[in-house]
């Protein structure tokens, strides 16, 4: 009876515990991180009798937590990945919304700016059209700046968020350390403190949202938590503090620092993986920085190229064009005191959207791009380092490593961001609508209206001049043309020079008439007759030969003369580009000696340039022009004290035709420069001449859009995985109310049965007592 | 359920905006392409506006030139009419031959002949012989004429026949005919003023049409002394872009046509004169009672120049029309392309919307049903 009572009471106790545990499970059905508990029962040691062993009831051996370490680890890894991609996607999509929206993006503003330019080209004297252009240019600049300011805001916000996240991580790790401590204390009682384990697991789960962690269980029940490649966050009962620190030299960036207890601070920015921390860092590095650089690149490209074109023009006041937009300079960031590396923009068309790192190795500066691509010069050759003290142009940026202050030492680092400030530094520099340079400063005209009035003359040839321009010799810009220039055309002229001295003192006596054959431009030779007689000096020889020419069909086409070396020279009229003089066939000898071994030379067709009227001044320059090959090409020449001037010529001018370049005085109806400015919209001026301005913006849109799309897919995939793992984990550790309800019934029945046992034992006892009494 | 809800919201957004892709992340390539197409379409719209501006400028220019042409026609008519007022010729009597085979005018009627002449034709040589009956001097005239001898301009109106002979005797001009000529001269001068005003035509914006780039400089000024126009503009020509690679000139500098008239007037040393001098010379001649034959050829050259420019304008307007219709065609193609990329198939989207709504309702209802299932309800 006593044993039955004992058995009954042990069963009653066990059922009570089971009911209590079920109740606990039901009570915690909504508790995050709670793992279902189960009472583990064990048969009490039986009593040994002679006839065998008699059972003595049940013992509660322990209360166990339903839990699978593999699932927990997977759950954490998936949580980290999911929160990383979700955050990345959420931020990227926000940026995407802004730049992709027709109202807040750049496309619309850019289109309106170019349309306004077209309107100015349509009517260059209209002040309202110019005012509209200025307004649209302001709007465009404003759009650049507002998108840029938004990006800077997002970066600041992300930095603040990083602080917040780090704070939460610290709270979680110190909580974990605290729970570790309690567990270690509880662990000395030999039974598992299930609820503390749950609490700690839940803390670590929460920590996984911020950063991917690995855990290591210790014998004393504590858990060590590591991040990255094994940097300790929690060791036993101690938590290491994580903090953020302003990056040097990139002050707008933050580093993650782990203060290891008793050790050095570790920079774990590039070591942490997963979770919101990596999502945020990736977003800044992979989306925000390139996007802001791309935006800056468009701003710099637009400003630089527009400025260059605008500067070649002339405004309504007759002044040369000035810069339309201010251009952002490259940022050079360093922790060093002396600016040993400086960077300037060299070619907007070649700019990338990357940032550059220059590190001194003692002799050279190694140069790398933060997007990992090769750095190239304008020929496409890869540049990996810059010799110390030299200047190299790479990716459209001129890197100057001239030592300015203290000499660099090994390891000195400079970060160059060529385009980061591009959009924020862009401003409209012109406020006066008259200052828009729609005209060109130089006009061209042909011989129809001669300079300084007088009777008009028509050119005889078909030459047409166009596109005159004058720039300063140092290439700094255009200059005004003070005096008109006259270009006078002369066609090909051929000369044939003999090699026998015909100077005075040499008397050449021809006993009979002599003959020479002259062939022009490869035509059949014409025989000229030189009359017999004594020719006492060079002039007499020339006169005799000229008389022969004039009597032939070559009259007017060939002139005989004597040169400085007393050689007989035959010169063709302009337009005849070859001459050949040989001994005559009718009668040979005599004069043939004078021609001897002739040398022929061709003075190629060309323009003689006069400052002002040809009558007034000497030839200040000559410009070769071959109608066959140069027609339509730009002809350029440099004239000292004046500048570099250029023009185009089409057609075939006649010898003596004159063309003029003069200042475009009062040329307010000229829209040539406005046309060129407007035309830049469609030209592929960016990315090494492969993309227009809007194409470049399209690339930015596509880059951000693709990032958003990819991260959305990744976040969705991780979300599904997380659902699966959560379901699996729930099926192991979760509380199923139905199961608990069944359990309650079961345990209640067990309890009732156990109570019945005690009751039976009581009845038995009573009946025994009754029998005794 | 959340997924279904967000899918539903997306479909609803598409339905309300009528656009398939809302954000670059939905389909980056398509959205960038749509933005490109937006840009191209807006650019074409701008080209169409440019074409309108060009068309309007060219219409103004053509109107001005047509008016000038009308005036010049009138000048030429008056020139012919004035020349035909035969006050200025001597009496011609045909001894043998057709009366109107020749006509003779004084070069300067104020300086008529005093002697009588005999003009006879020898078809064998052939040549004309003009005998001054007073001085007995003879002049031989060959070729088709006209011939100018002793202040007479002799014009052949028909092919002469051997033996033709005419007697030429002095005659005094009638005063009323001289008055008629002066009236014609006055009208010609008025026409000249009209031409001058038309040459300095301004467009709607107050810009001179024929001044080249110097649109606020009066292009033509009339010099009282030399009776000529001076061109003050330049040779600039403004172009307007009406297509991606097509631009059209929307004007012609005055130098291009009014200063570029090679005249038949042999007295012009350089062979080139301007319209003002030509018209003025006619008026001058008529005021003096003279005829002015050579100016007819000059006028023809001048009108030919204007016709040449009008032909150019016509060609340009054709080019604009052509480009405008080509722009329209391209725009329609681009719009249809854009529509393919971004416009919503409403039928499909509406069907999808209903389907998604149904799915959401189903999962909501099943969720509620499942939530209700609990063993506790049955205990």
* H helix or E strand, kind and range, residue A369: strand A364-369
Q: Which of A21-30, A636-645, B8-17 has the lowest mean pLDDT?
A: A636-645
What residues of chain B lie within 8 A of the CB of A742, using their CB?
375
Least confident of A29-33, A155-159, A311-315, B372-376: B372-376
- State whether residue A201 sits within 8 Å of chain B by CB: no
Distance from CA of A314 to the nearest CA of B (A): 12
Which positions in chain B touch A124 (Cβ < 8 Å)? 238
Q: Where are the alpha helices (DSSP H) in B139-229?
A: 175-199
Quick one: pLDDT at residue A291? 94
Segment B211-257, tens digit of pLDDT? 888 888 888 887 777 667 777 888 888 889 888 888 899 888 887 77
User: How far apart are the C-alpha atoms of A69 and A52, rounded to whole Å?
Assistant: 43
Is A330 in CB contact (< 8 Å) with chain B?
Answer: no
> What is the percent of chain B with per-residue pLDDT over 90, rounded to a whole number?
15
How far is Cα A546 from Cα A536, in angstroms, rounded to an integer?
16
Q: Tokens 């060959």 belong to which residue?
A: B142
Does the pLDDT of residue A60 top 60, yes or no?
yes
Per-residue 3-state assignment (H helix, E strand, C coil) for A178-225: HHHHHHHHHHCCCCCCHHHHHHHHHHHHHHHHHCCEEEEECCCCCEEE
Mutate to test the interface with A, among B25, B41, B51 (most CBs of A within 10 A): B25
pLDDT of residue B258 exceeding 70: no
Closest CB to B255 among A93, A449, A694: A449
Q: Is A122's CB within 8 Å of B50's CB?
A: yes
Q: Are A299 and A144 in contact (CB under 8 A)?
A: yes
List the single residue in B with minimal CA-CA distance to A442.
B236
Sheet with A579-583, edge to edge strand ranges: A526-530, A514-520, A579-583
Distance of CA B312 to the CA centre of its chain: 6
Task: Return the closest-CA partner of residue A201 out of A186, A221, A228.
Answer: A221
Find the helix or strand (DSSP H, E) in which A4 lies. Answer: helix A2-27
What pLDDT was estimated at residue A305?
Answer: 92
CA distance B128 to B101: 13
Q: Please name the residue of chain B whose CA is at the shortest distance from the CA of residue A716.
A: B3
Check CB contact under 8 Å for A667 and B234.
Answer: yes
Average pLDDT of span A380-405: 89
Cβ distance A664 to B270 less than 8 Å, yes or no, reads: no
d(CA A173, CA A178): 9
Q: What is the pLDDT of residue A451?
A: 39
Closest Cβ–Cβ partner in A97, A668, A701 for B35: A701
Q: How confident is the model at residue B81 (pLDDT cuts 50, 70, 90)?
A: confident
C-beta separation of A322 from A673 below 8 A: no
Neighbours of B220 (CB within 10 A): 25
Touching check for A742 and chain B: CB below 8 Å?
yes
Element (H, E) at A526: strand A526-530
- Cβ atoms of A444 and A465 within 8 Å: the answer is yes
DSSP assignment of A619-669: EEEEEE--HHHHTTSEEEEEETTTEEEEEEEES-PPTT-EEEEEE-TT-TT
pLDDT tens track for A595-620: 656 677 777 888 888 887 777 778 88
User: Is the model's pLDDT at B105 over the cut of 80?
Assistant: no
- Spatial distance between the Cα atoms of B147 and B160, rounded to a whole number of angstroms: 14
Tell me the β-bridge partners of A601. A495
Backbone angles phi, psi at B123, to 5 degrees: -70, -15
Task: Determine the residue among A122, A294, A670, A739 to mutate to test chain B binding: the one whose Cβ has the most chain B Cβ atoms within 10 Å.
Answer: A122
- Tell me whether A455 touches chain B (CB under 8 Å): yes
Chain B positions touching A105 (Cβ under 8 A) are: 35
Whether chain B has a CB inside 8 Å of the CB on A107: the answer is yes
pLDDT on residue B267: 45
The per-residue pLDDT for A130 is 94
Closest chain B CA to residue A318: B214
Give every CB contact of residue A125 below 8 A, 6+ residues apart in sequence. Answer: A316, A668, A669, B205, B207, B215, B216
Q: Phi-psi category of A36—alpha, beta or left, where left has phi over 0 and alpha has psi -120 to 50?
A: beta
Is B235 in contact with A702 (Cβ distance < 8 A)?
A: no
pLDDT at residue A18 greater than cutoff 50: yes
The pLDDT of residue A456: 47
Q: φ, ψ for residue A291 (rounded to 5)? A: -65, -45
Q: Note if the bond before B130 is cis, omega within 30 degrees.
A: no
Least confidently predicted of A325-334, A756-765, B322-331? A756-765
What are A485-518's pLDDT values in tens digits?
888 888 888 777 776 666 654 556 666 677 777 8
Which pLDDT does position A507 carry in this prediction? 55
Chain A residues inside the 8 Å CB shell of B274: 456
Q: Which residue has the tokens 């939460």?
A: A168
B49 and A93 within 8 Å at the Cβ level: the answer is: no
Which residues are CB-neighbours of A249 under 8 A, at least 6 positions away?
Answer: A333, A334, A335, A413, A414, A415
Closest CA to A2 of A59, A61, A54: A54
* Start-end of H helices in A688-736: 693-733
Query: Quick count: other Cβ atoms within 10 Å of Cβ A400?
Result: 19
Q: What is the mean pLDDT of chain A?
A: 86
Q: Contact B126/B162 with Cβ under 8 angstroms?
A: yes
Identify all chain B residues contacting A708, using CB atoms and an 8 Å cutoff.
23-25
C-alpha span between B39 and B42 (Å, rounded): 5
In the stretch 503-542 of chain A, residues with CB closer than 8 A to chain B read: none
The pLDDT, as a whole number, for residue A280 is 93
Cβ-defined contact of A666 to B217 (cutoff 8 Å) = yes
The beta-carbon neighbor of A445 closest among B32, B42, B234 is B234
More confident residue, A189 or A573: A573
The 10s digit of each residue's pLDDT in A692-721 is 998 899 899 888 988 988 998 999 999 999
Q: Which residues of A touch B23 (CB under 8 A)?
A: 93, 96-97, 100, 705, 708
% of chain A surpassing 90 pLDDT: 36
For residue B376, give the nearest of A446, A668, A737 by CB distance.
A737
Assess contact for B219 and B254: CB atoms under 8 A: yes
Distance CA A418, CA A371 (A): 14
Residue A453 banded pLDDT, cuts 50, 70, 90: very low
Residue A176 has pLDDT above 90, yes or no: yes
Q: What is the pLDDT, as a whole number, of residue A191?
A: 80
Q: Is A504 helix (H, G, I), strand (E, B) or coil?
A: coil
A658 in reach of chain B (CB within 8 A) = no
Cα-flanking dihedrals φ and ψ of residue A400, to 5°? -110, 115
Among B38, B272, B274, the residue with its CB nearest the CB of A107 is B38
Task: Give the C-alpha separation, B227 to B135, whole Å.
Answer: 39
> Would the CB atoms of B262 and A458 count as touching at under 8 Å?
yes
- Write the DSSP symbol of residue A314: B
> Residue A756 region, left (φ>0) first, then alpha (ψ -120 to 50), else beta?
alpha
**Is pLDDT at B87 greater than 60 in this prediction?**
no
CB atoms closer than 10 angstroms to residue A37? 24
- With CB atoms and an 8 Å threshold, state whether A708 touches B272: no
């Amino acid at each position: 009876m006593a044993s039955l009572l004992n058995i009954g009471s042990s069963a009653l106790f066990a059922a009570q515990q089971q009911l209590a545990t079920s109740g606990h499970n039901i009570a915690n059905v909504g508790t995050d991180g709670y793992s279902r508990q189960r009472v583990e029962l064990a048969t009490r040691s039986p009593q040994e009798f002679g006839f065998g062993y008699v059972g003595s009831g049940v013992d509660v051996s322990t209360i166990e937590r339903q839990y699978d370490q593999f699932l927990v680890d997977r759950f954490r890894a998936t949580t980290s990945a999911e929160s990383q991609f979700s955050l990345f996607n959420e931020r990227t999509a926000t940026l995407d919304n802004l730049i992709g929206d027709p109202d807040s993006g750049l496309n619309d503003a850019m289109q309106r700016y170019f349309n306004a330019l077209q309107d100015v080209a349509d009517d260059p004297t209209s002040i309202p059209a110019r005012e509209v252009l200025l307004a649209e240019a302001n709007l465009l600049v404003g759009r650049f700046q507002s998108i840029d300011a938004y990006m800077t805001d997002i970066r600041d916000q992300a930095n603040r968020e990083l602080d917040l996240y780090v704070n939460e991580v610290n709270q979680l790790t110190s909580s974990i350390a605290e729970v570790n401590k309690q567990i270690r204390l509880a662990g000395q009682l030999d039974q598992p403190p299930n609820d503390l384990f749950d609490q700690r697991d839940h803390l670590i789960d929460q920590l996984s949202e911020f950063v991917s962690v690995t855990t290591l269980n210790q014998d004393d029940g504590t858990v060590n938590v590591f991040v990255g490649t094994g940097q300790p966050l929690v060791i036993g009962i101690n938590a290491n503090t994580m903090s953020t620190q302003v990056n040097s030299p990139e002050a707008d960036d933050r580093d993650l620092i782990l203060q290891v207890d008793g050790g050095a601070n570790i920079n774990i920015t590039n070591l942490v993986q997963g979770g919101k921390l990596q999502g945020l860092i990736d977003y800044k590095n992979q989306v925000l920085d390139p996007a802001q650089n791309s935006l800056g690149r468009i701003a710099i490209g637009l400003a630089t190229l527009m400025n260059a074109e605008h500067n070649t023009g002339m405004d309504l006041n007759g002044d040369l064009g000035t810069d339309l937009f201010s251009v952002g300079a490259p940022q050079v960031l360093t922790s060093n005191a002396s600016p040993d590396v400086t960077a300037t923009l060299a070619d907007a068309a070649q700019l990338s959207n990357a940032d550059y790192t220059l590190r001194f190795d003692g002799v050279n500066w190694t140069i790398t791009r933060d997007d990992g691509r090769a750095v190239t010069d304008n020929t496409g050759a890869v540049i990996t380092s810059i010799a110390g003290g030299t200047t190299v142009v790479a990716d459209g940026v001129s890197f100057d490593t001239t030592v300015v202050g203290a000499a660099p030492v090994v390891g000195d680092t400079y970060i160059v961001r060529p385009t980061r400030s591009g959009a924020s530094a862009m401003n409209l520099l012109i406020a006066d609508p008259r200052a828009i340079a729609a005209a060109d400063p130089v006009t061209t005209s042909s011989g129809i209206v001669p300079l300084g009035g007088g009777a008009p003359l028509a050119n005889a040839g078909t030459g047409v001049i166009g596109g005159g321009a004058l720039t300063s010799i140092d290439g700094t810009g255009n200059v005004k043309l003070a005096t008109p220039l006259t270009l006078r055309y002369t066609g090909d002229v051929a000369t044939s020079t003999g090699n026998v001295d015909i100077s005075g003192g040499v008397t050449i006596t021809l006993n009979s008439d002599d003959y020479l054959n002259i062939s022009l431009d490869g035509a059949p030779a014409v025989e000229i007759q030189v009359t017999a007689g004594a020719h006492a000096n060079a002039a007499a020889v020339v006169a005799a030969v000229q008389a022969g020419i004039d009597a032939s069909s070559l009259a007017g086409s060939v002139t005989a003369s004597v040169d400085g070396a007393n050689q007989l020279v035959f010169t063709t009229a302009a337009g005849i580009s070859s001459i050949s003089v040989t001994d005559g066939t009718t009668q040979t000898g005599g004069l043939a000696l004078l021609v001897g071994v002739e040398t022929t030379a061709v003075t190629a067709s060309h323009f003689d340039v006069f400052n002002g009227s040809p009558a007034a001044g000497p030839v200040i320059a000559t410009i070769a022009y071959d109608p066959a090959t140069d027609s339509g090409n730009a002809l350029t020449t440099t004239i000292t004290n004046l500048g570099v001037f250029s023009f185009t010529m089409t057609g075939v001018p006649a010898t003596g035709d004159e063309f003029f370049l003069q200042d475009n005085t009062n040329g307010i109806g000229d829209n040539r420069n406005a046309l060129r400015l407007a035309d830049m919209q469609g030209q592929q001026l960016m990315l090494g001449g492969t993309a227009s301005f809007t194409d470049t913006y399209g690339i930015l849109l596509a880059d951000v859009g693709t990032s958003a799309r990819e991260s959305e897919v990744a976040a969705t995939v991780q979300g599904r995985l997380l659902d699966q793992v959560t379901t699996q984990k729930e099926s192991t550790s979760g509380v199923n109310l139905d199961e608990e309800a069944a359990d309650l019934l079961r345990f209640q029945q067990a309890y009732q049965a156990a109570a019945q046992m005690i009751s039976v034992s009581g009845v038995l006892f009573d009946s025994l007592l009754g029998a005794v009494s | 359920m959340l997924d279904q809800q967000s899918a539903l919201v997306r479909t609803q957004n598409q339905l309300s905006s009528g656009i398939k892709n809302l954000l670059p992340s939905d389909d980056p390539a398509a959205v960038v392409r749509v933005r490109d197409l937006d840009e191209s379409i807006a650019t074409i719209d701008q080209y169409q506006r440019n074409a309108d501006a060009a068309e309007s400028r060219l219409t103004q220019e053509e109107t001005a030139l047509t008016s000038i042409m009308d005036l010049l026609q009138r000048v030429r008519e008056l020139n012919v009419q004035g020349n035909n007022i035969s006050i200025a010729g001597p009496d011609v009597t045909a001894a043998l031959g057709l009366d109107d085979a020749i006509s003779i005018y004084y070069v300067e009627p104020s300086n008529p002949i005093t002697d009588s002449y005999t003009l006879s034709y020898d078809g064998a040589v052939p040549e004309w012989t003009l005998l001054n009956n007073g001085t007995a001097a003879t002049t031989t005239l060959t070729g088709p004429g006209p011939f100018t001898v002793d202040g007479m301009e002799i014009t052949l109106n028909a092919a002469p026949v051997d033996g033709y002979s005419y007697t030429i005797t002095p005659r005094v001009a009638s005063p009323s005919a001289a008055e008629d000529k002066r009236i014609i001269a006055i009208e010609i001068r008025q026409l000249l003023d009209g031409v001058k005003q038309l040459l300095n035509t301004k467009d709607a914006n107050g810009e001179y049409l024929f001044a080249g780039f110097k649109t606020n400089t009066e292009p033509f000024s009339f010099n009282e002394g030399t009776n000529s126009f001076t061109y003050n503009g330049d040779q600039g020509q403004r172009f307007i872009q009406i297509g991606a690679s097509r631009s059209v000139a929307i004007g012609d500098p005055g130098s291009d046509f009014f200063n570029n008239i090679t005249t038949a007037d042999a007295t012009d040393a350089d062979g080139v004169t301007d319209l003002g001098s030509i018209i003025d010379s006619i008026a001058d001649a008529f005021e003096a009672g003279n005829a002015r034959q050579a100016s007819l050829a000059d006028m023809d050259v001048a009108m030919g120049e204007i016709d040449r420019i009008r032909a150019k304008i016509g060609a340009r307007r054709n080019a604009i029309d052509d480009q405008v219709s080509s722009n329209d065609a391209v725009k329609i193609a681009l719009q249809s392309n854009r529509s393919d990329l971004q416009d919503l198939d409403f039928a499909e989207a509406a069907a999808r919307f209903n389907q998604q709504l149904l799915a959401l309702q189903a999962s909501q209802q099943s969720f509620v049903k499942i939530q209700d299932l609990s063993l506790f309800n049955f205990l």
